[in-house]
Every structure is written in structure tokens, then in C-alpha cells.
Structure 1
Amino acid sequence: MSKILIRGAKVLGGEPQDVLIDGAVIAAVGTGLPDEGAEVVEADGKVLLPGLVDLHTHLREPGREDSETVLTGTRAAASGGYTAVFAMANTFPVADTAGVVEQVYRLGQEHGYCDVQPIGAVTVGLEGKKLAELGAMHESAAGVTVFSDDGKCVDDAVIMRRALEYVKAFGGVVAQHAQEPRLTEGAQMNEGVVSAELGLGGWPAVAEESIIARDVLLAEHVGSRVHICHLSTAGSVEIVRWAKSRGIDVTAEVTPHHLLLTDELVRTYDPVYKVNPPLRTERDVTALREALADGTIDIVATDHAPHPHEDKDCEWAAAAMGMVGLETALSVVQQTMVETGLLDWAGVADRMSFKPARIGQAAGHGRPVSAGEPANLTLVDTAYRGAVDPAGFASRSRNTPYEGRELPGRVTHTWLRGKATLVDGKLA
């Protein structure tokens, strides 16, 4: 059927309404809408959100298909309520040319579980020495607007300035992985009391904060846009808050795991908790939640970083950094932000759909749930509670820090331009 009637959904957490989808668009929103000729989905008070948008996803293809592929990654995205994801450039080969970003873009079009927008590398080979083909990637079929060497910091100030100047010409943005490499040599976890007790190399907060401070000043000088990836410290929050007060064009993201988990978990030596930037302190977690609530931090981004079993099931020092996150992100945000009263569901829609779509210029996404808009939608059973079981993940990898942990909320349906990609919690 081309028509779908979602009956009795709390649109952005408000009063129950009906939403009629006709083809690829929302035809009507109201109460008592007729169901003639439509497939009916009984929402029973579930929350209806615009399709989620992730500005920070690692899909691994090409080159590391043992970890994830565009197909499995977009299936995971649909399972988590996402209708669009931005794919990071640290693939093999690196997405630093028009050819590679077009390959990723076309794979996303072929598989269809969500839209895939490639992120282009800032520098050739992520080596930080020479600007990549930024203009060519922007002018390609992929239309790249976001550039990042994520996984590596663009630590050379001259290169960073040139990148900011270059993307300014077409309204692009540089997304920085803020990590001063000389301050984090041999780092294994957050530098603090726990690292001292465990004897693990520390990753100091200043290594993040010093790069953010430099880059917001460069963005101000150039008059360009800079985005801070996976901000993780209370000090970083204050720098971004200061920059915004000066009118600097800076945006920032926080991951779900940095909103919930702390470095105390590293005491288990379980490599599932090894991530970059590392899990920080309870003080940092509190500051991040408050900053997301007050708008200093603009968005939630997953930093979905899949790894095969052998790369994580080993001793801590040898383990890869990263966690999968697409399928649990909304649940973590519900627990840390909604159930604590820091955000309502309209605020969640803002931080996980409207703003990331705006920052990344994702056409057709992050739009209001109203007549005439694309039918990119997510239906969430917010009353559900259950233990996380990675065996049921759509992702190819299972490196989740939440295995066995009870989390609230479950995405039951996802629609991409009116086509169901998830139905009753199962991939369509």
C-alpha cells in the first residue's frame, strides 16, 4: 500500500495524533483521520519523531568489511531509528578523493535502509600533511559538505586554517577530532585518579581542550565553520560556550556513551570500554548532560565504531578503540536526558534530527512532522525496558558497552520517504 496511517502517536511527545503518509510524503496530521485505503499502524501512545540523523558513523566500507559494511551499517541505523547517517572517511582506501566518496554514496543508494552521506577526509591519507581534494569531493555526485580526519587530529594549525578557508567557499564545515597527539602518546584511558591507580597511560583533558581552543580562534579568524567531534570534557564545554558567546560559528557533538559511562568502568580491564576520546569522570558526564540540555552542545552523534571480535577480545593495551552505538543511542539518550528531566522529546528531536541535518545539510531530513514534508519518521515505544542483547544487533560487530544493561525505549518502526525499513522492531 502507498498509504499508511499512524494512529494515536505522540508527535514529538505531545498529545496523540494521527499521521497519514501518502507515498513519500506526510499527507496530513490531525485527529480522527480516516483510514480508507491505508495500512494502519496502531501507535497506542508511542512517541513519533522525525527520522534520526547521525553526523558521525563509521561504516568501514571499503576496506574493513569484516567490521561493517554499508549494508549492515545502514540496517543497524534503521533499527536505531535513523534515516540518514554521515559516513566517516577513515576507510581503506581513505575517502580523500571524489572516486571513493562516490563509491560510498552509491552503496548507500543501492541498499536503501537509510541515506548515506560520505564525509571527506581533510588531508590526503589522513596524514595531516596535505589537503585532500576538498573541492572535487564537494562537486562530485556525493556532494560532500563535511570534512574530517576523524580518528586523527588535524594538528597542524596551518593545514587546519587552509581547510577552513577552503570549505568556506561552498559553505562546508570541518569536523575536528580534537586530540593533541604529543600529549596523548601511549594513552590508554582518561588521565586521572583511575589511570594512576591502574598504571595505564593517561589521555589528559587538556589534549582535547587545547585543540578546541585553537580551532575556534582559527574559525573566528577565517570566518568559517568548525564542528567539534565527540566533545568529552567539562573544560571543552566551557571553551565552546565562550566561543559561542563571541559569535564564533562552532557546533559540537556528544556521544551517548560519554553521557552515561565513566572511567570507573575501566577498572574491569574490559576492552569494550576502550574508546577515543576515553570515558571521562562523573564531573565531565554531568557537564556534558547540562551542556546538551542548554544548547552549548548542539547534537548527539553516535561515533558508531564497529570492530570484529578479535580486535576487542584481547588484552587492554592491544585492543582497538571504539564502540557500536547506532542501535542503542536513542535508549541511552532517553535514560540520561529525558528520564532525568533535562530534555523533553521535542528536545531529543532537535538534538538528534533537526540540528544534525542542518549542520550536515542533509536534504529532506530533520524536517517537521507536518503535512507536505518527507515521510522520514521514527516510532518509539518509550515505555519499553529491556536488557541489551548484542546477539540481536543488525550491525556486523558486537562491541557494545551495554550488553546485559537494562535500557529504556525501543524503536518499533522507521520509515524512509514513506517506505518502512523497520516494522514491529524487525527489519523490513
Structure 2
Amino acid sequence: MNLEWNADMLAFQHEVRAFLDAELTPEMRAATAGMTSVYAPPSLSLAWQRILHKKGWVAPSWPIADGGCDWSAAQRYIFTRELTQAGAPPLSPMGLGMCGPVLLGYGTPAQKARFLPPMLAGEELWCQGYSEPGSGSDLASLQMKAVRDGDDLVCTGAKIWTTHAHEADWIFCLVRTSRLEKPQLGITFLLIDMRSPGVSVRPIVSLSGEHVQNQVMFDEVRVPIANVVGEIDDGWTVAKYLMEFERGGSMYAPSMQSRLGALARHLAATGQPKGMNGRIAAISVDIAAMDALELTFLAGQSAGTAPGPMASAMKVIGTELSQKLTELELEAAMPYAAAFQPQLALAGGPIPGFVPPADGKGVGPPYAAKAILKYFNDRAGSIYAGTNEIQRGILWQYLGRRNS
């Protein structure tokens, strides 16, 4: 078996590296190296997105006619790996990775013309309105209502755990437009302008001290019927399609390989703690297996296969493996990890109530300061995008149908 890239892919790899060398600034690389969240601050991610957009490389999997690259699985794999190894900031997935694919699949020509160009250009930031205070893993129990009034839907209710809602321009929401025999029926997928009268945002501060998530309140917010994606009352079909991209749309392995390399360099420089070589070797094998799985997944998508239950498997394996890696990173930080020093890292959002030292310095190496913040932030990985218990249930149902 030949595992080497062919001449065309090697030429593409060199083109990507040359672009990154020319466009990715040292400040961006340094900021990315200090990130503790899966989300970069919008000021960082949008700045990089605009650079990629100018090159035409902002949406590798989208059709060319819609502003994407329509790259093969191999090109997307190479591109993602080169971005990670170069230290490029991650882009916000809410628009490009979630709402964008939904509009490509279910949007009207008018919706695509209105929303896709500013989404690609980084001119409008998106957030996701799925979970509610009483509807998380059981998403079909959502209660935010939308009542038709002429050419509008009047929306009342709340969404929670909404990433970057305090900075977003638009939110894609699931709302209840009817009460039918099954809870999955009567749900509608709706695009809402965050500047609409009646929308308010309340911050939620996480264990790591960051303000990234929010609760969003809707008080009789009027939204044009033209902003419904798909059919009224059939939003569950659209939502399931989106969740496949949310759960399987990330590539975990390149980032974890980069983090494992940083961990190995830290241990080589400090010589402490002892006895971690075997555990590092074991997790490196797991990450390599994840890498192969992601390449297989990308190949399927390039062939036109929907993510399907494979997305659930990817989400479970990727998030739990990342959490396991944070435990090793925390152990390597030793006592320095006990100090709360976000000024030595880059949080996913502002940290209310924290005033960093005037000189920006701290106790111990920056690696240790980042380890504890990353550990706390990663606890959410097995909960967001549908808990891992829910993903295992989806896989069990799928295997049961295949074997019946």
C-alpha cells in the first residue's frame, strides 16, 4: 500500500505552505498557541477568515458556484493539517460549518443570495439557538414558540448555552410552530437577526472563567416568514441534517497531534514528571487511529455520502480523546496548574472580574497556565452538540437497524 501523496497533492501542499508563510502573522500564530477554548475570540477568527476569503479558501467543502473550493477529501485533509501545524486560528463553525451547509441543502435561492456571501466574507457572525433551559439532550421537547401573524412569525422563549451570542449578528433557531402528535413535528428552522427588537442576551461564565456562552431571550420578536429554512413544521428534518455536520464537521486529530507535540517538548525541557512515556505512546496511537478515521470520513463526504451516524462516532471519540489528553497536560503542568493565570493564555472570551498583573507575567511557564484552563474548558466537549450518551444511543439504534 502506498501512503504517500501523489505529485498533484504535494504541489497543493507546497502552495498551502507558501500561502501560510506569507499571510499568517506571528501575532496570529502566538495567539492560537495560547488558545484554551475550541472557539477563537471572534476578533481573531474573523481577521483570519477575511484573509482566507480573499484567497478563495474559506469554504473548502462548499460548491464553487456558492463561493467554496469543492476540494477533494485529500485536499481538505492536507489543508486542515497544514493550518494546524502552522498555528492558524480556527474559524467559527456556526456559519461556515453549520448554517451554511443547511442553506446549501435546504435554502431558497433568495436565502442563499442574502446570507452566504457575508457569511463567507466574515461580515456577519452566526450563533446557534438549539438548547433551551428545559430542553438540552431532549431537543424535541423545545418550547420556544413562534406564532404566525401575517408575513411574520412572532417568537417568544429562550435559548441557552449560545456561543458568542453577545457578538453575533444572526442566530439560527429551532422554534415550535405547532403542537402535533410527535414532539419532533411542529418544529421550524428559523433565521433571526440578533438586532431585532425583543432580543436580549445574558452572559454565562464557564468553569474556566470565560464568557463565551449566553442565554438569549426572545420577547415577541417578529421574524419574516421568508427566513424559514425548509418547510414550516418540518424543521426537525433540517436540524438533523445540520447536527450531522456539527458532530462530524471537526477534525480532531491534527489539533491533538499538535498538542501532543507541545506536551512532549515541555517534558523534554523540564524532565518532569517522570513515568509518562508509556501513557504518551498509548494516546499517540489513539490519535493516529482517529486521524485515519477522519480521513475515511472525509473521503465519504467527497463521494457525496451524508455524515450520518459516523458523525456521532467521530464526536464521541474526538471529544473523549481530547479530554484524556487534557488530563496528561494537566499532570505535566504539576503544581503550577493550581494558579489561575489566564493572562498567560488566550481564553475564548473575556474573563469578568479578573484583572491581570500590569506586566502580564505569572508564576511558572505559560504551558502550565494554559493546561488548567484547557482542562476546564474541555469538560464541555462531551456535552455540547448532543451529549455523548445521546450519540451512543444513535449508534446503538443504527447498529440495531443494520442487524435486524
TM over 0.5: no
Normalised-by-shorter TM-score class:
under 0.3
Give the helix-richer structure, 1 or 2: 2
TM-score, length-normalised on structure 2? 0.24
What TM-score, normalized to structure 1?
A: 0.23
